[in-house]
Amino acid sequence: MTSPDGGGERRTFTPDFLTELFRNPLDPGYADAAARRAREGPRSAPRRRAISAISALTMIGVGFLLVVAYQQTIADEPGRTKARATLVEQVQHRRDGTVALQNGADELRAEVATLRERELGGAAVARLRDLEAATGLASVHGPGAKITIGDGPTAVNPVTGKQSNDARVRDSDLQLAANALWAAGAEAIAINGQRLTATSTIRQAGEAILVDFRPVASPYEVVAIGPDSLADEFRDGYAGRFFRELVARYGMSFDATGVHDVTLDAATELKLRVAVPSTPPVSGDPPSPGPDSPPPAGTPSKGGR
């Protein structure tokens, strides 16, 4: 085609892919091979035998490599199985040791409580028990509410195959439930049996939720002791509306019911950071040191408190 400006330069246009495909359906490589066969004739018998021998040797080599790899995998399997069994045994041994230490600590705690009650008077023991119940150092029982929150179905992206965690309960959800119960008048709260205290933590660690560094799993039961209307106030409050929205959007489970009599165990491994006497000093005694006061002479500045 001549250019519109009248010059002698010829401009060519490349046809689109579909037009070229219908015009020349045979791949150029196949056309060249057919032309070469027509020009040179069929392959000779020695050449065919050589190609067959090379193909056979190639297949034998590949098969040999596969057999060697399989034998190596089988040979290494007992070692991996033994290492895994050793790790499982170590974990179980450590777990049994932890349980034994926890039982020993519980026995010593009970012995200390018995000696303390024997040495103190009745009024002091009653006041001490009230303080222990309020701080989580003693088990408590009474009416309250039980909040149950569970994971929803795991959604899978049909294109990428990636799983979505939107329907899983998160640490912030449990924090919201605990704070709403405290605000509604709860006196004691436990999540899956883990008693909450003033120093408790609810954190996310990967896909697991830790309450005071102990894993808890779905369904999550948040049990609280408080007034008889605790479950109704939670259900009708902002937390109840939030969890109902999660149920409608992600298919999670949520339930808030009242309980007449439930027992919450004492918290374990409660660590005290600062202790200040609550009784006023006797006249003539020096004032009690505060949290920021320097330690007296001869006492360590750090360590167990």
List pLDDT tens digits, range 80-103: 787 888 888 888 888 888 888 888
What separation in angstroms does the CA of 44 have from each of 48, 51, 54?
A: 6, 11, 16
Nearest-10 Cα torsion for 115, 120, 126, 127: -110
Please list the helix, strand and coil fractions of the chain in percent, rounded to the nearest 5, in that order. 45, 15, 35
For residue 187, give the nearest of 238, 127, 236, 228 by alpha carbon: 228
Nearest to 179 by CA among 193, 200, 151, 205: 200
Choose the weakest-confidence range: 99-108, 268-277, 289-298. Answer: 289-298
Q: What is the DSSP letter of 297?
A: T
The mean per-residue pLDDT over the stretch 244-273 comes to: 88
Q: Is pLDDT at 299 greater than 50 in this prediction? A: no
Confidence band for 258, pLDDT divided at 50, 70 and 90: very high
* Side chain identity at residue 59, one-letter code: M
Q: Which among 71, 253, 69 is positioned nearest to 152, based on CA atoms?
A: 253
Mean pLDDT value of segment 271-277: 69
State the pLDDT at residue 302: 38
Given a contact cutoff of 8 angstroms between Cβ atoms, the answer to whether 148 and 247 are in contact is no
Q: What is the pLDDT of residue 287?
A: 54
Q: How many CB atoms lie within 10 A of CB 18?
A: 8
Alpha carbon of residue 188 to chain centroid:
26
Cα–Cα–Cα angle for 143, 144, 147, nearest 5°? 145
- Beta strand pairing status for 202-205 and 208-211? antiparallel
Identify which of 151, 170, 133 has the alpha carbon closest to the alpha carbon of residue 251.
Answer: 151
Long-range contacts of 268-273 (CB under 8 A, 24+ apart): 268/102, 268/195, 268/212, 269/212, 270/135, 270/136, 270/137, 270/197, 270/199, 271/199, 272/305, 273/199, 273/305
Q: What is the mean pLDDT of residues 127-152?
A: 89
Task: Say whether pLDDT at 283 is over 80.
Answer: no
- pLDDT by residue (tens digit) across 217-241? 999 999 999 999 999 999 999 999 9
